[in-house]
A and B are shown apart, each in its own frame.
Chain A
Amino acid sequence: MQQEQNSVKKNLRKELDLIFVKNPVWVTGLALAPAVVGSFTVKNGVGLSLVFGMVTIPVLVVSSFLGMLPKKVPQYARTAICAVVAALMLIPARLLAGGIAPNLFDSLGMYFSVVALNTVWIVRAPLCQEKKPQWALWEGVCQTVGFSICVLVVSALREWLAYGTFGGNSTVLSVKFPAVAYAFAGFITVGVTAAVLRWCVDRSRDVVASVRRQQKKWRTQR
């Protein structure tokens, strides 16, 4: 019983790493196209996160159910089923986006559909076939949170620098850099934020290690 609880905790923590330590965009480099090109306003960022979640979570859960099928069903057929599910999930995503903000679908343009075939589920779906559905669901949630954090940070930075606004509200910025809304600046922003994240993760690891060392020292002294 204790062992089972420990393994559940371990799995929960492992998937939580997807938010920062193994972030799908910043660290793994997955789903870069929508994160780089489409995220130039906070509104777009929210829309992309929404569509990503609506597509990725069901696909990962479905792929875990596909793992229960007999081995005779080939991998390409399973991937095709996942792609169909992802495409079908765009319909409720479109309705939900329209309900949240009427212009969200138009502002996303082609990136709305591009997110349906994101590399996160293409890479992770075959691996999720060996997982239980609840763990596939948990992974999908963590992937979505990680993607959303990255996209929202990048889009907020780009909107602020390019238009001097945050979510459409004007902020204090005397000099604006309109070129930051272009795709090349998306790559630079994702790169710079990834470097900052890596620095923060490294420093936090150092801090945790030094605290543990100190605790060990105190214990031995006692």
Chain B
Amino acid sequence: MLQYEPKAPYVRNRDSAFTVMMDVVIALLPLYFMAFYFYGLRALMLGLASVAAAVVSDFVCILLEGKKPYFRDISSVVTGMMLPLMMSAATPYYVVVSASVFAVVFVKHVFGGVGQSAFNPAAAGFAFAVACWPVQVFSYPAPFSSLEPFGTISAGLSSGPAWNLFQGGVPANDILDLLLGRFLGPMGLTNILVLATCLFYLLFRGAISWQAPAAFFGIMVLAMLLFPRIPESGPMSLVYEATTGMWVFGGIFMLNEPGTLPKRSSSRLAYGALAAVFTILFQRFGRAEQTFAFALLLTNVFSFTLDRYSERLLRRLRRVYLATRTKLSEKKSAQRA
């Protein structure tokens, strides 16, 4: 028997913030498995260092704010897991740790904690790392090269096919290698097939809504097919861009972050479209080979505005619909009379 009077809202969803975040963590695990397969123990150690830095800084911030730690909030774990996947497996530990701390302290907690941040913490952390240490972030080891888990890396590092695309050239990689992720690139973004599986898993579980990714991927694919930025056919350009770019990973994991995603379905569609437009513009006119994070940070600014305008638009449409309906009914009644 209930001892208290229930209060609104009465409708309860099966999914809580914890279950949604847990789904994202589960979706990120295969990417870590692939990173471990390609680069060995160092990939996992980078992930662990990043997660530890994010969780510790989150805990310290909560204590400084005078709040009680809430252990079912694992958003900092998700941020910590995402960051190393966007970087090279040879990235020094201080880069990953600094990016994590920046993301949690200056992007998540400065704006009021989980669900309140105006910008995507992972995107901001990555942008900070790129602004500070672009060479370390964009210098990649070859897949299956033995990387030392700690200390300096003895394996040779060089730029990947994303750099070729950025320069306007065509990558010399085999298509099968590109599809299987066997090329120089960030440790979690090269496995397009695994990423596609993650997208379907998250959609199936209901952890992400379909509107923003549909609009985003639709416009991105159309743009790659119709306006390739390299001297290649549309479909080939799409394969190169999708396998080497960060936008596929970002469109699945970062675009749908609940804190920054608009609340209405129509505004989510507009949000995805806007993110795609900004991504294309940054790709064409940006100064780095991976620019999705910067495009997303710019899109985040419009999240609230899109919600507000879509609400106004829907209200106007509803008024017009009601007005026409009443007019029609009046006409009908007049005809009957």
Identify the A interface with B (CB < 8 A): 175-179, 182, 188, 191
List residues of chain A with CB within 8 A of the CB of B131.
Answer: 178-179, 182
A175–B94 alpha-carbon span in the complex (Å): 8
B120 to chain A: closest CB distance in Å? 15
A188 to B131, CA, bound (A): 15
| Interface hub of A177, A178, A179, A182 (most chain B Cβ within 10 A) | A179
Question: Provided the pairs A175-B94, A175-B98, A177-B98 are in contact, do residues A188 and B106 lie with their beta carbons within 8 angstroms?
Answer: yes
Main secondary structure of the interface of B (DSSP, over half): helix
Tell me the B residues contacting A by CB distance below 8 Å. Answer: 94, 98, 106, 110, 128, 131-133
| Cα distance, A178 to B133, chains bound together (Å) | 8
- Smallest Cβ distance from B277 to chain A, in angstroms? 23
* Assembled-state Cα–Cα distance A24/B128 (Å): 29
- Chain A neighbourhood of B94, CB < 8 A: 175
In the bound complex, do residue A191 and residue B98 qualify as a contact, i.e. CB atoms below 8 Å apart? no
Are the CB atoms of B128 and A179 closer together than 8 Å? Answer: yes
Please measure, in the bound complex, the distance between the C-alpha atom of A178 and the C-alpha atom of B94, giving whole angstroms: 14
For B132, the chain A residues whose CB sits under 8 A away are 176-179
Residue of A nearest to B134 (CB): A178
A-B contact pairs, 13 of them (CB 8 A): A175-B94, A175-B98, A176-B132, A177-B98, A177-B132, A178-B131, A178-B132, A178-B133, A179-B128, A179-B132, A182-B131, A188-B106, A188-B110
Chain B residues with CB under 8 Å of A175's CB are 94, 98
A179→B127 CA distance, assembly (Å):
10
Question: Which residue from chain B places its CB closest to the CB of A175 in the assembled complex?
Answer: B94
Question: Which A residues are CB-close (under 8 A) to B110?
Answer: 188, 191
Which chain B residues border A177 with CB–CB below 8 Å? 98, 132
Name the CB-closest residue of A to B129: A179
User: Considering only CB atoms, which chain B residue lies closest to A174 in the complex?
Assistant: B94
- Give the complex CA separation of A125 and B133 in angstroms: 45
B130 to chain A, nearest CB (A): 9
| 5 smallest beta-carbon distances between A and B, as pairs | A179-B131, A179-B132, A175-B94, A177-B132, A178-B132
Q: Which residues of A contact B133 (CB under 8 A)?
A: 178
Contacts of A178 in B (CB 8 A): 131-133
Q: How far is the CB of A163 from chain B (nearest CB, A)?
A: 12
The residues of A that contact B98 with a CB separation of less than 8 Å are 175, 177
Given contacts A176-B132, A177-B98, A182-B131, list 12 more A-B pairs with CB under 8 A. A175-B94, A175-B98, A177-B132, A178-B131, A178-B132, A178-B133, A179-B128, A179-B131, A179-B132, A188-B106, A188-B110, A191-B110
Residues of chain A contacted by B106 (CB below 8 angstroms): 188
Complex: how many Å from CA A175 to CA B102? 15
Residues in B whose Cβ lies below 8 Å from that of A176: 132
Chain B residues with CB under 8 Å of A191's CB are 110
Closest to A199 in B: B64
- In whole angstroms, what is the CA distance A97 to B98 when docked? 37
Cβ of A26 to closest chain B Cβ, rounded Å: 16
Cα separation A176 to B132 with both chains bound (whole Å): 8
Question: For residue B127, which residue of chain A has the nearest CB?
Answer: A179
Docked pose: A34 CA to B128 CA in angstroms: 23
Complex Cα distance A177/B110, Å? 20
Q: Which residue of A lies closest to B107 (CB)?
A: A188
In the bound complex, CA of A176 to CA of B95 (Å): 10
- Complex Cα–Cα for A176 and B98 (A): 11
**Measured between alpha carbons, how far is A179 from B294 in the docked complex, in Å?**
14
Smallest beta-carbon distance A193→chain B, Å: 14
Residues of B within 8 A of A188 (CB): 106, 110
State A219–B94 Cα separation when bound (angstroms). 57
Q: Closest CB-CB distance, A72 to chain B, in whole Å?
A: 47
Closest to A180 in B: B132
Give the shortest distance, in Å, between A180 (CB) and chain B (any CB). Answer: 8
Q: B78 → chain A, closest Cβ, in Å?
A: 23
Taken together as a complex, chains A and B put the C-alpha atoms of A178 and B128 apart, in Å, by: 10
